[in-house]
Structure 1
């Protein structure tokens, strides 16, 4: 009877040891899964931050391009005014030259 009781206790001990080993394996697996999920979350956060920085740079580039285009339009308008002014001066000089040619 004592041998039988010891045998049952040994079996129970072995079962408990197996359950403990399984629980530890599951715990490690869950722990690894948690670590992987945390690492994946960190990567996603970094990707999101990078996308935010890229968006900011794109907005800055767009604003700079708009400013450059505005400056180009201003320069074009100044050049047209200067060209018209020079054309009027040339026309007046031609008129004066024509008047002197006729009077002589």
Structure 2
């Protein structure tokens, strides 16, 4: 296994700088790309988490306003193992239709 080279340091106009070999530079660029990919993945995961939290909040609001007799009916229609969006659609389907005010045809 080859010995790792230490980066050289020098001073240019009173500023300390590090001089990298082409191999070290390529390794640094690779690490930057990997970090960028990891940051993008974390951003996607945060967005998914935020969306899931919003859906759970919506489900809680819908269930809180559901009358007891309709809650029993809705509970019987919900299937196990379904996604939150599917469950919300099932819950909405059990609610009585109310005319939407403020919208024009």
TM-score where L is the length of structure 2: 0.46
When normalised by structure 1's length, the TM-score is 0.46
Structure scoring higher RCO (CA < 8 A, sep ≥ 6) equals: 2
**Greater helix share, structure number:** 1
